[in-house]
Amino acid sequence: MTRPDPGAGAEQGTGRGQDSRPEREQEPTEGPPAAFYLHPAASLHDTGWNHPEHQGRLRSLASTVGKDMMALFGRVEQSEPPLAPEGALERVHTEAYLATLRDASAEAEASGSLRELDPETRISGASWEAVLGSSGAVCHAIDEILAGHRANAFVAARPPGHHALADRGMGFCLVNHVAVGARHALATGAGIGKVAIVDWDLHHGNGTDAIFTADPDVFYLSLHEWPQFPGTGASTERGIGAGEGTTLNVPLPAGTGYTTYRRVFVEGLERMFDAFSPDLILVSAGYDTLRADPLGSFELEPSHFHELTRLLVERAPHPDRIVAVLEGGYAPRPTGEAVVATLRALAGIPLEDPGGR
C-alpha cells in the first residue's frame, strides 16, 4: 500500500508552477568519463556498530557500485584520491577546532577507545585520516573536472559533513567536506567565481548554511524535513549582509512523497538558476529521504535519485561540473542503490540499461 503524499498545506512551495520542461533521457556524449572516489581511510572511521553512521555504510555502498560495473565500465572511472592538506580544511574550520579533532583522534588511537564531541558525534583513531581523505577526494574531484579529465563525480565521503560548523562538529559530522570543496574551488584560480551547493539530505545542513550565509559567491539550496534535527532551515533564513538572497531553504513536512518533492526540487532549482549562475555545483547527497531510512519519514525510492540528478544536470550552466558528496543515508542497501542511480545520471547512463549502452 502506498502511503499518501501530504502535498499542499505546509511550508514547502517556492512559488512557481510545475516543471514545464520535456522529459528526456540524457544522450551519451563523447568526452571524459565521470568519476567515483572513495578514500580507503573513510571506511575506517569507527563510531561503533550501534551507531547509525557505522562502518558498514560505505562497505555496502562500495559493493553495490561494484555490482554495477558492467553499466559503468568506460563511463565512470575510479581511482584513489590524495589526502587533503590541512590548509584546505583551514579555509573553512578554525585552527583550534582542527587541533581538537586531530588530538582527539590521536588519543582514541592510543587508548583504543572512542572519543565524543557529543553523544552522537564520535571520534576514533582513524577519524582524522578519514576526514582528510574525504575532503581530499572532494578537492581532487574538483581539480580533475576543472582540468578536463573528468565530467562530474561522486565522492563517497565519511564521516558526513554538512552539520559541521567552522568551530564545532555535530550531527555525526566532523569536517564540512562540501564547504572545503567550495572554498577550494574558489581559490584555484581556474575561473571559478561562483559555486552552488544543492543539499537534498533529509536534515538541514546548518553548518553549510552558517559558513556561507554572508558569502555572495556561494548559493545554498536545501530541501529538508521540518521540524527535524538540527532545528534550523526556516524559509525566512535567506542569508545575511552581502550574502542575502543566496540561501534558499525549503522546509517540507514529514511524509513528503516524490510527486511533491520533485515539484519543489524543480522550483528550487529554477529559482536558484534565475538568480545565480554557478561555475560549479556541489551536491550534499544525503539519502535519508528514502522510505527505508530509519531516521526520516520521506517517501523517496532509490530510483528517484536518477531523475533528480538528471533534472539538475539538464538545468546546470555547466552540466559537466557537478560533484555529489555523500552525506546521510542510514539504510545501507537502499542507500547504495540510490548512489548508483545518482552516479548513472551523472554519467549520462539510463537507469534501466543493464549494459550502460
Whether 254 and 11 have beta carbons less than 8 Å apart is answered as no
Whether 159 and 45 have beta carbons less than 8 Å apart is answered as yes
Q: Which of these is catalytic: 45, 140, 163, 306?
A: 163
DSSP 281-312: EEEEE--TTBTT-TT----B-TTHHHHHHHHH
Please state at what angle helix 127-146 crosses helix 95-111, rounded to 10 degrees: 130
163 is catalytic: yes
DSSP at 251: E
Nearest alpha carbon to residue 357 among 20, 115, 25: 25
Cell digits of residue 226: 521540518
Amino acid, res. 11: E
Nearest alpha carbon to residue 179 among 133, 210, 146, 143: 210
- Angle in degrees, CA 86, 92, 97, rounded to 5: 70
Pairing of β 218-225 and β 76-78: unpaired
Amino acid, res. 141: A
H or E segment at 326? strand 322-326
DSSP at 305: H
Give the residue carrying C-alpha cell 563511463. 75
Whether 312 and 268 have beta carbons less than 8 Å apart is answered as no
Tell me phi and psi for residue 6, to 5 degrees.
-65, -25
Give the residue carrying C-alpha cell 569507527. 46
Q: Just list the catalytic residues.
A: 163
